[in-house]
Structure 1
Amino acid sequence: MTGAGGPLVLIGPAGSGKTALGREVAAAAGMPFVDLDAVADAYYAEVGWSLARLREHMGVVGRLTAEAAWEPARAHAVARVVADHPDAVVALGAGHTSYTGTEHLAVVRTALHDCREVVHVLPSPYREASLRILRQRCVRDKGRDWIVDGHDFLAQWLDDPAVRLMATRTVHTRDETPAETANRLLRRLG
């Protein structure tokens, strides 16, 4: 793999396949795999947040405003997971790389700066195709289209220029299985 130290980090919108790809890359490379969405609660708690508090806040102010208030906790979780798992493949949930507050984005960019690689995972090089595929996957796999209170979170995550700037490379999964994409990615990183 290229670079020294730090985890190999996968970023991208919901439905891009970060978790499945991360498991395959980790297994093939003999590295541990960490899905931030699965371990983030402990990190959120360190700064006074929890998913229960987020849901409660959403009920009061709506999803979009609550997501903005939750940004410090998400940024903290990214910094902590990267520091705690320097030899792992780490998948970051879509919300962990998209911020409205520049100070929170700066925390994440700093945390990702010394990572081995930050790989932006997308299904297609074409925006509309990616958005269509992501939406289909999210509805099929999670029962949600990510349009909340009139706001399209999938489009936000897909179009966020800061996410593209964080990445050291982009991989398009196309119609490949996670194992096929992992093999192709590892050959490129080799």
Structure 2
Amino acid sequence: MRESPWMILIGPAAAGKSTLGEGMATATGRRFVDIDAIGADYYAEAGWDMDRLRSRIRAVGRVAAEREWEPARAHAVERAVADHPDAIIALGAGHSHYTRPELFRRVRAALAAVEHVVLVLPCPDEERSVQVLRRRSLATKQTDWIGADGHDFLAEWVRDPGNRTLATTVLHTDADTPGQTLARLLTACGTG
């Protein structure tokens, strides 16, 4: 068994990371881990929980609270990578985006041994990707990811050059069905 995860899926909210991860796990016989489902214990180790995040959002606003929460997200990535060898892990949207260089370096180091780090985006055009993701987010999560102050988290995540630095593969999904995307990813990873 590998000592690190076999694949990490990164990208903005509503990109399809969880759906793709579940499909890859079924196709390859590996475990699928969604950091959004398991992150609470890791955040707690770093002194955070969702109640604290919501409290900080009310106190300082969403953008500032998200920046304060970055160390907990970086810790969660490090722990998930260490705790789930040979798995396929989907990182929630903010888990590959950092404004503090030292936190980005920590996450990059944690992902360095992962064979496949896949950035999932709708298409190469950033503006179109933001539009597609916003439509998907409204339909599935009932949010457009634009904060009360007008900050556009989807645009920030799509345009983040750090995601491309972390990725070994960029996968564009908009023209495909989930099954077609899965088949392309399996081929790209040498398993299809």
**TM-score grouping bracket, smaller chain normalisation:** over 0.9
Give the Cα–Cα distance (whole angstroms) in 1 for the partners of residues 20 and 178 of structure 2. Answer: 5
Give the Cα–Cα distance (whole angstroms) in 1 for the partners of residues 34 and 170 of structure 2. Answer: 19
Deviates more, 1:168-177 or 1:35-44: 168-177
Q: Is the 8 A contact 1:82 1:111 kept in 2?
A: yes
Read off the aligned partner of 2:108 and give its amino acid letter.
Answer: R
Give the Cα–Cα distance (whole angstroms) in 1 for the partners of residues 129 and 56 of structure 2. Answer: 31
Deviations 1:93-127 (A, max 9, x none): 11001111111111111101110210000111111
CA RMSD of superposed structures (Å):
1.0
Q: Which residue of 1 aligns with 2:183?
A: 183
Read off the aligned partner of 1:170 and give its amino acid letter.
Answer: V
**Is 1:174 the equivalent of 2:158?**
no
Give the Cα–Cα distance (whole angstroms) in 1 for the partners of residues 178 and 70 of structure 2. Answer: 30
Q: Which residue of 2 aligns with 1:123?
A: 122
Read off the aligned partner of 1:155 and give its amino acid letter.
Answer: A
- Listed as ranges, the gaps of 5+ residues in structure 2 are none
Q: Which residue of 1 aligns with 2:59?
A: 60
Q: Which residue of 2 aligns with 1:30?
A: 29
Q: Which residue of 2 aligns with 1:9?
A: 8
Q: Which residue of 1 aligns with 2:38?
A: 39
Give the Cα–Cα distance (whole angstroms) in 2 for the partners of residues 187 and 163 of structure 1. Answer: 22
Give the Cα–Cα distance (whole angstroms) in 1 for the partners of residues 131 and 64 of structure 2. Answer: 26
1:58-97 → structure 2 map (5 Å cutoff):
58-97=57-96
Instruction: Return the TM-score normalized by structure 2.
Output: 0.95
Give 3-state SS (helix, strand or coil) of 1:121's partner: strand
Q: Is the 8 A contact 1:25 1:183 kept in 2?
A: no
Q: Percent of aligned positions with the same letter in both sequences?
A: 53
Give 3-state SS (helix, strand or coil) of 1:175's partner: coil
Deviates more, 1:107-116 or 1:4-13: 4-13
Aligned length: 187
